[in-house]
Structure 1
Amino acid sequence: MLTMLSQVTVGVLKYVRQGLVAIALAGVVGVAAGVANMSLIGTLPY
């Protein structure tokens, strides 16, 4: 019982960590895209 519970907990923690990493990566990509977009707009003549 206890070993099964700990295995489930480890699985959930891995899943949560993967989700957090994915969210963090998406945020970084979004910020980078926004910065690139603004710098591109800044270089346009009009």
Structure 2
Amino acid sequence: MKQGDIIIYGCVIIGAGVGLTLDNSFPGVLIGLGAGYLLKTFFRKEE
């Protein structure tokens, strides 16, 4: 598994957890997914 994938999965799980505390898990997952992709591109190594 690549490091970028781990960042995305972690953000999705955190987003789902925050969404469950607010009684809406699906929007939390989507926000976590978007944040994961942003973090993945931010921390991507220059080749």
TM-score normalised according to structure 1 size = 0.47
Say which structure is richer in helix.
Answer: 1
- Higher relative contact order (Cα pairs below 8 Å, separated by 6+ residues): 2
TM-score normalised according to structure 2 size = 0.46
